[in-house]
Structure formats: structure tokens, C-alpha cells
């Protein structure tokens, strides 16, 4: 159902089972999947693809041109995955040619009020962004990560799978998977043990991750030395391998 006061461009493609609330504006070259609800006063700019069963609340602005001096008006896109919830006043900007041309929010994400997802960011599945979480450009957030309220993440930073970033943190380096980080310049505070248990990680896996974490971050050796020790002393279950691979592939450096 499309409210009588909504403005939907004739070149937008909406499934018959999409609801659009009062005074919302949906421009050309927008695609919206079945079961999605667009609340009142939402603006969806061109080149946005929204999956099925999403819910976008009032005053969200999706697909605006990026806040980047390198952007020259080229075509770029926003993709929002199935089942994502976008609350009040969220802003999500299109990608840039420099960054690959795509900003993508994964399936079943939960973006609380005033979250900002800047150009060329990619988020995984089931990511939670608390109120006023702010992503600069070119950020990658892994599956099942949680970003606390008032968190600001520097451009090109990566957040690993199942990581938890505490509220009011400034993140300037990569956050490894499975850990908790927080602080004015974020520092690590151990494994995200509570979250990992909620997601069904076994006690054996938690013990191995804890051992690897201690070697890497707590005994005062270099990262290269720590990686060698972990490879030699810790059983190489997939989670330990993921942790090491994430650290080895970091370009910005690892939060410690």
C-alpha cells in the first residue's frame, strides 16, 4: 500500500507487497523487495536496492550522494540486505568510484536511531549499531559485530566478526574478531565471552581463543612473534585461524 501523500517515481520498482507511509519520497532507479515497510517522511534517493522484509522508520535518508571531495557525480549504489531494520534519522550514503561504487548493509542488520553509514562501507550479517554509531568511509564490519552508541570509526578500519565495540569509543585501528574494545582511543579488554556464549561457541573454542588472545595481546611480544607462538602452541580451530588471518591482513594496524 502506498499512501496518497507519498511520492514514488514511475521508474522505481516496488513489489506489490511493499508499504510506503505518508510523505515519503522514493526516486527513480530504486528497487524494494516484498514485505518491506517504508515509514513516513523517508527519502530514498536513486540507485538504492532494498531487500525483502526490511523496515525503515521515519525520517531515514537512504542513498544520498557521498560526503566525499573525490565524488564527481558518478553512478554508485546502496544495497540493503533482507530483514534489516533502520530506525529514525539513519543516513546511508552511496559509494564512490574510488571505493568500488557500493555501500552495502548486510542481511538482518539493526541500525538504531541516528546511525550513519558513509560511502563504500560494507557490513556483514546481523550487525547491531546502537544510537549515533558513526562509520566513516571504506569501513568493513564483520558478521554479528555490535557497535555501541556514540562510537566513531575512522575510515578504512575493519571490525572483525563477533567483535563488541563499547559506547563512546573512537576507533582508529582494526578491531580483531571475537574481542571487546572500548575507550576514547579504543583498546582491547579481552574476549567478547558473553556474546560468544550467546552465539553458541563451545567452551573448548572459548578456551583456545582465550589462550591465543593472551599470547597475542598480553605477554608483551611482537605480533610476528605472537603469531608464530599461536601457530605452534594453540590448536588451529577455524576461529583461531580467523583471528590470525585477520591480524596478518591488517593495513591500518591492530588495536591492542
Say what the pLDDT of residue 110 is: 99
For the chain, the 3-state helix, strand and coil shares in percent, each to the nearest 5, are 15, 30, 55
Place of cell 588495536: 255
- Our answer to whether residue 55 is catalytic in this structure is no
Domains 7-138 and 196-248 share a fold: no
Domain ranges of the chain: 7-138, 196-248
CATH dotted code for 196-248: 1.20.1180.10
Distance CA 11, CA 83 (A): 24
Mean pLDDT confidence for 201-212: 98
pLDDT at 76: 98
Q: Verify whether residue 167 is a known catalytic residue.
A: no
Q: What is the CATH number of domain 7-138?
A: 2.160.10.10
Indicate the DSSP class of residue 151. -
Is 119 among the residues known to form the active site?
A: yes
Question: What's the pLDDT score for residue 17?
Answer: 98
Q: Which of 81, 120, 148, 174 is catalytic?
A: 120
Instruction: Pick the catalytic residue from 99, 137, 142, 160.
Output: 137
Q: Which pLDDT score, from 0 to 100, does residue 33 have? A: 98
What span, in angstroms and rounded, lies between the C-alpha atoms of 155 and 135? 7
**HSE, side-chain direction, 13 A CA sphere, residue 246:** 27
Active-site hit among 41, 93, 119, 138? 119
Give the confidence band of 156 by pLDDT, cuts at 50, 70, 90.
very high
Which helix (H) or strand (E) segment holds residue 141: the answer is strand 140-141
Across the chain, what does the average pLDDT equal? 98
pLDDT average, residue stretch 187-208: 97
Q: Are 102 and 85 in contact (CB under 8 A)?
A: no
Q: Which of 159, 164, 162 is nearest to 181 (CA)?
A: 164
Amino acid at each position: 500500500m502506498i499512501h496518497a501523500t507519498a511520492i514514488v517515481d514511475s521508474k522505481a520498482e516496488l513489489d506489490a507487497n511493499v508499504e510506503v507511509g505518508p510523505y515519503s519520497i522514493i526516486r527513480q532507479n530504486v528497487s524494494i523487495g516484498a514485505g518491506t515497510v517504508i515509514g513516513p517522511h523517508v527519502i530514498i534517493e536513486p540507485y538504492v536496492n532494498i531487500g525483502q522484509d526490511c523496515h525503515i522508520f521515519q525520517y531515514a535518508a537512504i542513498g544520498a550522494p557521498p560526503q566525499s571531495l573525490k565524488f564527481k557525480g558518478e553512478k554508485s549504489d546502496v544495497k540493503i540486505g533482507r530483514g534489516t531494520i533502520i530506525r529514525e534519522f539513519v543516513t546511508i550514503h552511496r559509494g564512490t568510484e574510488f571505493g568500488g561504487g557500493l555501500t552495502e548493509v548486510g542481511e538482518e542488520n539493526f541500525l538504531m536511531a541516528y546511525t550513519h553509514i558513509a560511502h563504500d562501507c560494507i557490513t556483514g550479517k546481523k550487525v547491531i549499531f546502537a544510537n549515533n554509531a558513526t562509520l566513516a568511509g571504506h569501513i568493513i564490519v564483520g558478521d554479528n559485530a555490535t557497535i555501541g552508541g556514540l562510537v566513531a570509526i575512522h575510515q578504512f578500519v575493519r571490525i572483525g566478526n563477533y567483535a563488541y565495540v563499547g559506547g563512546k569509543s573512537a576507533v582508529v585501528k582494526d578491531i580483531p574478531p571475537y574481542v571487546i574494545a572500548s575507550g576514547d582511543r579504543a583498546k582491547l579488554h579481552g574476549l567478547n565471552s558473553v556474546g560468544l556464549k550467546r552465539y553458541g561457541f563451545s567452551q573448548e573454542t572459548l578456551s583456545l581463543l582465550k589462550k591465543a588472545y593472551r599470547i597475542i595481546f598480553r605477554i608483551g611480544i611482537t605480533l610476528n612473534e605472537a603469531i608464530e607462538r599461536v601457530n605452534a602452541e594453540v590448536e588451529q580451530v577455524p576461529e583461531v585461524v580467523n583471528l590470525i588471518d585477520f591480524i596478518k591482513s591488517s593495513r591500518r594496524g591492530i588495536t591492542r
